[in-house]
Amino acid sequence: MAHILKVQNLKKTYSSGSKELTVLEDINFEIQEKETFSIVGPSGSGKTTLLGLCAGLDQPDSGSIELCGTNLQQLDEDERAFLRNKKVGFVFQDFQLIPTLTALENVAVPLELQGDPRAEEVSRDLLSKVGLKDRFDHYPSQLSGGEKQRVAVARAFSNRPSILFADEPTGNLDEETGQKVVELLMELNTAAGTTLVIVTHDLELAQKTQRILRLKGGRILKTEAV
């Protein structure tokens, strides 16, 4: 199977005042197409930073990232945005829905951006699949946490991404709701055949993926198959 994400010798530092802080160093791994993968580690281990770099939301100091066959360093910001729109889906810890758009509009945005004339139809279908058939015209502020995350999941799948990044998808939900959202995520992922990368510190959630990458202090502790 071909790899969809290849990370080599990745290093990322942040400067805080006059001090330089190394957040990630010597990171090397590959993720195969349709694989489910989780990145775990304690707070401050660099999980979220790694996710941001892999998804092209940020630039590394050194090393290379190849996403869907494209080297991210060779793209400018707009080109990376274009790549995300075509190939990447996101689910965030704090949902990140656009507060001024309805649930339906939120889900439709990635498709509309591609100029897909079926944007609304696909979005309705997806929202129905995540059980929000009667919430099309609700604004995010009118939805519960679980419902918001389900809209986010629907949005993540709307552009039929090759790879989906989920950053602590259950972090802001209670256990029961979190579990339901994870089930939904896995179910849709299996059906669509998408590569899934989850960042979490919840080991139980990580166990549901095929491979786990353990980070500590900005370095890879180990990569293990479940």
Partner 1 sequence: MSTKNQKTNFSWLLKMALRDGKSSARKLALFMASIVLGIAAVVSIQSFSHNLKKNIALQSKALMGADYIIDSDKPLTARVEGIIDSLGGADGREISFASMAAFPGNQGTKLVQVRGIEGGFPFYGELETQPSTAASQFLSENGALVDATVMLQLGLEVGDPVKIGDISIPIVGALKSVPGSSSVFSSVAPPVLIPYSLIEQTGLIQTGSRIDYKYYFVAEPTADMDRLDRDLDPILDANEADLDTHTSTSERLGRRYENFGKFLNLVAFIALLLGCVGIASAIHIYIKEKLKTIAILKCLGISKKQSFMIFLIQIAGIGLLGGIIGTTIGVLLQQLFPLILQDFIPIEIEISLEPRVIFIGILLGVLMSVLFALYPLIGTLYVSPLQTLRVEESNPVRSRKAGLLVLSGIFLFIFLFSFWLLEDWLYALSFVGGVIVTFALLAGVANLFMKAIRKYFPKSWGFVPRQSLLNLFRPQNQTLILVITIGVGTFLISTLYFTKDVLLAQASLEEQANSPNMILLDVQNDQQQKVVNTIQSQEIPLLENIPIVTMRVESIKGRPADEIREDTTSRVNGWVLRHEFRTTYRDSLIASEVLQEGEWIGKASMNDTVPISISDNFAEDAKVGPGDAVSFNVQGVILNTVVKSVRTVDWSRMQLNFSIVFPTGVLEDAPQFRVLTTKVPNEEASANLQQKLVDQFPNVTIIDLRQVLSIIEDLLTKISWLINFMAFFSILTGIIVLIGAVRTSKYQRIRESVLLRTIGARSEQILKILALEYLYLGILAALSGIILSLISAQLLAWLVFETTFIPSWKPFLILFPGIILLVLIVGLGNSLGVIKSPPLVVLRKELG
List interacting residues with partner 1 (CB under 8 A): 48, 51-52, 57-58, 70, 75-79, 81-86, 88, 90, 92, 94, 96-101, 105, 109-110, 112-116, 139, 141, 155, 159, 167
46 vs 63, beta carbon nearer partner 1: 46
Least separation, in Å, of the C-beta of 225 and partner 1? Answer: 27
How far apart CA 163 and CA 197 sit, in angstroms, is 8
| Minimum CB–partner distance for residue 224 and partner 1 (Å) | 25
Q: Where are the alpha helices (DSSP H) in 55-171?
A: 77-87, 103-113, 119-129, 145-158
C-beta atoms surrounding 123 within 10 Å:
26
The rounded distance, in Å, linking the Cα atoms of 101 and 148 is 12
Q: How far apart are CA 156 and CA 165, in angstroms?
A: 9
Its sign, for the CA torsion 91, 174, 216, 30, is negative
Phi, psi of 28 (to 5 degrees): -135, 125
Q: Report the nearest approach of partner 1 to the CB of residue 57 (Å).
A: 5
Which CB atom, from 115 or from 176, has the smaller least distance to partner 1? 115
Burial of 33 by CB count in 10 Å (0-12 exposed, 13-18 middle, 19+ buried)? middle
Residue (28 or 144) nearer to partner 1, CB:
144
Which of residues 145 and 217 has its CB atom nearest to partner 1 in the complex? 145
Q: Which is nearer to partner 1, 76 or 134 (CB)?
A: 76
Residue 179, exposed/middle/buried by CB under 10 A (0-12, 13-18, 19+)?
middle
The 10 Å Cβ neighbour count of residue 136 is 16
> Among residues 138 and 210, whose Cβ is nearest to partner 1?
138
